[in-house]
Structures are given as structure tokens and as C-alpha cells.
């Protein structure tokens, strides 16, 4: 059996950075809180909890000397409240790409633009961006049909949730050109998700089956899995080696890819189990 990894897989830049900050905080304080699970990977969150990084759901539950704010970013008021806590340190692990989107939204807002955000309104990242541009409009679908309530708007500033497809941003931008006198577009799409999908599709041309590794709650892992659906390759989504089906034995060449929140140790676990089959 030949096993081949995708050229891009696993932790993205933002997740790697946040993870590093948690490990550094653990070395310093032995026990830290994360506001929500650090990443969408239950096994890694569990492992970190055993090391002392305990997820909490709200600032009222803080029970450690330091708190880590995760990659999606938090609302501005939550950040301010966290800074007022009687603890030793607030570690802001907001991904730099998300922080950039927050800053751009705020600049648009302060410069008097009508801010439009392409994204999912319930997503924590969009909620965090919204707090920097009050009254911004969030557009998630029906891109072509989008309309402002008052017809043409003078100044519009458009940006995107970092994980939205660039194609959607282009469609919305084209619509907004018709609805505004001045349109400024900030391309805040992060290419980590896209890069993993493209690498997986390349891999699909060279193998008979692909194993996609990632947590069940990880939407980018799900998107990675779905991005392979139109390819002539068998695709399996697993959380770890324990989920590998014996069915895989019938394939000669097997590819491996992993979502942006899948740690290297789980990728290695799957890889070595496949090698031993």
C-alpha cells in the first residue's frame, strides 16, 4: 500500500499560533482557561484539558490565572470585560487575519461607510467583526438579490468572513457596484482553507482513496471532505486511527489530508496505522 500526504494539510497559521500561545501559557501558569474550546477538535481539546487548559463558556466561569481568547476573535465588549478580570493575564490568540478584518471593519465604520460583511451571522468570527462596525449588514446568501432598504447608498465598505469562498465575495462585490456611488472592497478571505482543498484535489488525481482527518464539529474538515465529492476517488472522514475502515485494504494508493484544526499527532497516528495495515 502506498500512502501519500496532501502538500498542505493540518493546522493553519492561526490555529498553530493560538495553540503555541496555550502551551506557553501552560508552561507559565500550569492552568489556564480558554473562552470556548480552543479548536474544533475534541481529541486535542481533551488532551489540552488534561494538561491544564480548561475551556469555559463565559467570563463568569474563569477559574485560572490566565485566559486565552481563541482564533475566531471575541466581541469588543468581551475583550474589554476580560481585561478587567482580576487575573494575571489575558492572552489574545485572535488569528491575525481575523484581527485584520476587525480593524478594516472599524476603519470603514469610522470613515462613514455602510459596512457590508459577507459571512454567517451566528459565527463567532462575524459576531466579533460586527462589534467593530455597529449596524453593519451581514449577507450570507441570495447574493444577486441583495438590496439596501434605501436604494443607492453613497459609500459602501465590503469585507468578508475569513473562511468565505472568494467566488462569493466577487458576486457580492458585483452586486454592490450597482447599488453604491463609492465601493471599497477589502479582500479579507484567508486562503488556508482553499489551499487545503486545492492540495486535496491534486492528491485525488494520484490515489484511489483519500482519508480526511478532522473533528466532527470542524466545518473546514467537512468542506474539505465535500470538495472531493466530484472526484473519482473514495473518500473517508475520520477523527483518528480508530475510525479507519478495513474497507481501505482494497486500495493500492491512499491519500491523507486533514482540516485546519487537526494536530500533527493525529495525522501521524492515522498514517502509521495505515502503514501497518
Name the residues annotated as catalytic. 125
Distances (CA, A) of 160 to 17, 97, 129, 202: 22, 11, 10, 27
Closest distance of CB 121 from ligand SF4, Å:
18
**Nearest distance from residue 227's CB to ligand SF4, in Å?**
15
Give whichever of 114 and 201 is closer to ligand SF4, judged by the CB atom: 201
Looking at beta carbons, which residue is closest to ligand SF4? Answer: 14
Spatial contact of 184 and 158, defined as CB atoms under 8 Å apart: yes
Return the exposure string of 210-225: e unless at least 16 CB atoms fall within 10 Å of the residue's CB, then b.
Answer: bbbbbbeebbbbbbbb
**Closest to ligand SF4 by CB, 95 or 211:** 95
Q: Could you please report the per-residue DSSP string of 60-121?
A: GG--SSEEEE-TT---HHHHHHHHTSSSSEEEE---HHHHHHHHHHHHHHHTTPEEEEES-T
Q: How far is the CB of 96 from ligand SF4 (least distance, A)?
A: 7
Smallest separation, CB 105 to ligand SF4 (Å): 15
R_g of the chain, CA atoms, integer Å: 21
Report d(CA 62, CA 52) in Å as an integer.
13
CA distance 57 to 33: 10
For ligand SF4, the closer CB: 128 or 193: 193
> Cell for 134?
455597529
The residue (of 180 and 221) whose beta carbon lies closer to ligand SF4 is 221
Binding site for ligand SF4 (CB under 6 A): 12-15, 71, 95, 97-98, 162-163, 190, 192-193, 260
Amino acid at each position: 500500500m502506498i500512502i501519500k500526504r496532501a502538500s498542505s494539510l493540518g493546522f493553519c497559521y492561526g490555529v498553530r499560533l493560538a495553540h503555541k500561545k496555550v502551551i506557553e501559557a501552560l508552561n507559565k501558569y500550569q492552568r489556564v482557561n480558554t473562552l470556548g474550546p480552543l479548536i474544533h477538535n475534541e481529541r486535542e481539546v481533551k488532551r489540552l484539558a488534561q494538561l491544564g487548559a480548561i475551556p469555559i463558556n463565559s467570563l463568569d466561569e474563569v477559574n485560572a490565572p490566565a485566559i486565552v481568547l481563541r482564533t475566531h476573535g471575541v466581541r469588543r465588549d468581551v475583550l474589554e470585560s476580560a481585561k478587567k478580570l482580576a487575573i494575571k493575564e489575558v492572552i489574545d490568540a485572535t488569528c491575525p487575519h481575523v484581527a485584520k478584518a476587525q480593524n478594516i471593519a472599524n476603519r470603514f465604520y469610522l470613515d462613514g461607510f455602510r459596512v457590508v460583511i459577507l459571512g454567517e451571522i451566528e459565527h463567532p468570527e462575524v459576531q466579533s467583526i460586527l462589534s467593530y462596525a455597529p449596524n453593519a449588514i451581514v449577507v450570507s446568501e441570495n447574493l444577486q438579490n441583495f438590496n439596501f432598504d434605501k436604494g443607492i447608498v453613497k459609500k459602501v465598505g465590503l469585507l468578508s468572513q475569513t473562511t468565505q469562498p472568494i467566488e462569493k465575495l466577487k458576486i457580492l462585490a458585483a452586486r454592490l457596484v450597482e447599488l453604491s456611488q463609492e465601493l471599497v472592497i477589502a479582500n479579507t478571505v484567508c486562503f488556508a482553507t482553499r489551499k487545503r482543498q486545492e492540495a486535496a484535489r491534486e492528491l485525488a488525481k494520484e490515489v484511489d482513496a483519500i482519508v480526511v482527518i478532522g473533528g466532527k464539529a470542524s466545518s473546514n474538515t467537512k468542506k474539505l471532505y465535500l470538495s472531493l465529492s466530484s472526484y473519482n476517488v473514495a473518500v473517508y472522514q475520520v477523527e483518528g486511527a480508530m475510525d479507519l475502515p478495513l474497507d481501505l485494504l482494497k486500495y493500492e494508493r491512499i491519500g491523507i489530508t486533514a482540516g485546519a484544526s487537526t494536530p500533527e499527532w493525529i495525522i501521524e497516528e492515522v498514517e502509521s496505522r495505515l502503514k501497518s495495515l
